[in-house]
Amino acid sequence: MTVPKSIATIGVAIMATWYSGRDPIVASCALSIAAGLSTYFLVPTLAPLFTQAGLRGKDVHRASQPIVPESLGLVAATVYIVSLFLFIPFVFYDWIAPSLDPFVSARNAHSFPHVKLGEFLSALLSLQSMTLLGFADDLFDIRWRSKLPLPLIASIPLLMVYYVSGGITWIAVPYPFRSLLGSSIDLGPLYYLYMSLVSVFCTNSINILAGVNGVEAAQSLIIALSLLINDLLYIGGPDYPASQVHLLSFYLLLPFVGVTLGLLWHNWCSVSLLVGDTYCYFAGMTFAVAGILGHFSKTLLLLFIPQIFNFVLSFPQIAHVVPCPRHRMPRLNGKTQLLEASTASLEDLSSLGKVILLFLERLGLVRLEKASSGSLTTTTNLTLLNLLLVRLGPMREDRLVQWIMAIQGLGSVLAFIIRYRLVSLFYDVIS
């Protein structure tokens, strides 16, 4: 029975932290390791319950197309939320500790960092809402238009707390536009709309670059690690407020890396489970929350370069200018056991669609097939995964995931270059 094992692991982490001085950073590290181990233990134990409950899907990237449990992201998300719940008292330990002495307690209650607690609570609330939405989506296949407003509502507590914590809503204007707009403009309520849209964007972009075992967790891992590196550039640095907000982001991301590793261990090009929309939404919202509360939403968007590229490439199909089949994931060639780019039939192609496809072919982004009459018959589907298979040829599933990880890593390097080097071409503020 692995439930007691998981409880024991988390218990050991708390005890270890307690005896090492109750430092929140130590607590975060210990709880992240414990969360990773718990996810690792719990996923295979709970997987049969998911299958039983009807949460299952076909693994189409195996010749036998086995039925595997789906939505195992729920286990990772739940362990993550529980570990953050347990972490809260450590962050505020200095204010809780003297509670036995009423005088000290009263003094400390006055200096209590309410905004910090509000940030934690709203982060958890938004995260949990999106986990619930992702899980509901896995179960009920919620329609696109019903789904869209929910991340906006889920981000209300977060924006409320952002407002309370001083809520900077002005942005520096890049040099080329300063003659028009001045050196900075206050976006006011528009800035809050922008942050809401960041959460909509993040939750959906992991979901779109999906469809091969392990790719959701693998890309999220690289993004999370990049964000952690970015946080470490500020933590303990001379700019105290920046250090504090990046510390908060660090506390949110470290256990995320833990549970993602625990999940990825079982999901790595595996025949055993699917992570589901639950994981994609949970991962996306973790990034959005860390970015908003860490005040680095623009840097965050830079880390989504591969996802943005994937979205732009997909757009002609999403907008139905080019025919879009129900599933666009790569397909398995039964003979070679390698993945190949999936294709869409082009029977009812509009002339605009044709122009777009020919242009994309010129750029080397699709492979088209033409009838002897010269009209287009099929195109490879417009996703980054298929593009890799077009350019690099058929390959094994794990190879493809490794390529995505490499691209995501390169994207991070590019993002850091833009953020820390090229930014001086447009802005004089480096903070």
User: Which DSSP string corresponds to 123-166?
Assistant: HHHHHHHHHHHHHHHHHH---HHHHTHHHHHHTHHHHHHHHHTT
Contact between 7 and its own copies (CB under 8 A)? yes
Task: Determine how β-strand 170-172 pairs with β-strand 368-370.
Answer: unpaired
**Least distance (Å) from its own copies to the CB of residue 159?**
9
Contact between 161 and its own copies (CB under 8 A)? yes
Q: Distance (Å, rounded) from C-alpha 120 to C-alpha 409? A: 29
Scanning 32-40, 146-154, 256-264, 273-281 for contacts with its own copies by CB under 8 A, the matching segment is: 146-154
Query: Which helix or strand (DSSP H or E) is residue 67 part of?
Result: strand 67-69
Contact between 185 and its own copies (CB under 8 A)? no
How many other β-carbons are positioned within 10 Å of the β-carbon of residue 360?
20
Contact between 167 and its own copies (CB under 8 A)? yes
Q: 192 near 164, Cβ under 8 Å?
A: no
With CB under 8 A as the contact rule, the residue among 21, 166, 182, 374 that binds its own copies is: 166
Quick one: which of 69, 197, 199 has its CA closest to 129? 199
Q: Distance (Å, rounded) from C-alpha 364 to C-alpha 378? A: 15
With CB under 8 A as the contact rule, the residue among 104, 148, 149, 318 that binds its own copies is: 149
DSSP structural state of residue 382: S
**Least distance (Å) from its own copies to the CB of residue 139?**
5
| Size of the residue set binding its own copies (CB under 8 A) | 56
Quick one: which of 303, 302, 297 has its CA closest to 162? 297
With CB under 8 A as the contact rule, the residue among 16, 26, 82, 171 that binds its own copies is: 82
Q: Spell out where 280-358 has E strands.
A: 331-333, 338-340, 343-345
**Least distance (Å) from its own copies to the CB of residue 130?**
11
**Least distance (Å) from its own copies to the CB of residue 134?**
12
**Least distance (Å) from its own copies to the CB of residue 93?**
11
Q: 297 near 198, Cβ under 8 Å?
A: yes
Site string for its own copies, 110-139 (x = CB under 8 A): --x-xx-xx--xx-xx--xx-xx---x--x
Contact between 92 and its own copies (CB under 8 A)? yes
Q: Distance (Å, rounded) from C-alpha 382 to C-alpha 235? A: 40
Site string for its own copies, 27-46 (x = CB under 8 A): -------------------x
Q: Which is nearer to its own copies, 186 or 239 (CB)?
A: 186
HSE-CB for 237 with a 13 A CA cutoff: 15
Strand partners, 184: 172
Angle at 328 between CA 324 and CA 329, to 5 degrees: 180
Q: Which is nearer to its own copies, 125 or 208 (CB)?
A: 125
Contact between 99 and its own copies (CB under 8 A)? yes
Longest dimension (CA), the chain: 89
**Least distance (Å) from its own copies to the CB of residue 80?**
13
Site string for its own copies, 247-286 (x = CB under 8 A): ----------------------------------------
**Least distance (Å) from its own copies to the CB of residue 112?**
5
Q: Which is nearer to its own copies, 21 or 54 (CB)?
A: 54
Q: Which is nearer to its own copies, 93 or 426 (CB)?
A: 93
User: For residue 147, how far is the Cα from the chain centroid?
Assistant: 17
Contact between 98 and its own copies (CB under 8 A)? no
Residues 6+ apart with CB under 8 A from 261: 36, 39, 40, 221
How many other β-carbons are positioned within 10 Å of the β-carbon of residue 115?
13
Q: Which residues bind its own copies (CB under 8 A)?
A: 3, 7, 46, 49-50, 52-55, 74, 78, 81-82, 85-86, 88-89, 92, 95-96, 99-100, 102, 109, 112, 114-115, 117-118, 121-122, 124-125, 128-129, 131-132, 136, 139-141, 146, 149, 153-154, 156-157, 160-161, 163-164, 166-167, 186, 188-189
